[in-house]
Amino acid sequence: MSPRRNRPRGGESPATAPFAERQRYGGGGATESWRGEEWSVRPVSGASAAGKRYRCPGCDQEIPSGLPHLVTWPEFGGIEDRRHWHKACWNARDRRTTRVQRSRNAPRY
């Protein structure tokens, strides 16, 4: 028995792959509307962020180094307006409260 093939036979090129497929691996990006403002949303694979720490504004938890996540910024914002979100937190941003409660032993930085 021969080993299973992991690559599709002759399929589509990466340039013609669907947006969701390109987004999975950190390419592409999109524009979404939130709170009456347009936001640029770009997936990050996490590999380029080795050794860096980010705090998700949605859950106020740290995003571990190397974990895939999203980077968002207002369409007309600068570099200082970029925020790193967990993908699930970004998708649930409208269902979250405005004040996130921390646990007693959560870091305050």
- Structure confidence by residue, pLDDT tens digits, 26-74: 456 888 888 888 989 999 887 776 678 899 988 888 998 888 999 999 9
Give yes or no for a contact between 73 and 81, defined as CB atoms under 8 angstroms apart.
yes
pTM: 0.61
Q: Rounded to whole angstroms, how far apart are CA atoms 78 and 16?
A: 30
Q: In the numeric block, which tokens belong to residue 38?
A: 């347009």
Please give the pLDDT value at position 10.
Answer: 62
| Tens-place pLDDT, residues 1-35 | 667 767 666 655 555 444 444 444 445 688 888 88
Contacts of 75 (CB under 8 A, 6+ apart): 31, 37, 38, 39, 40
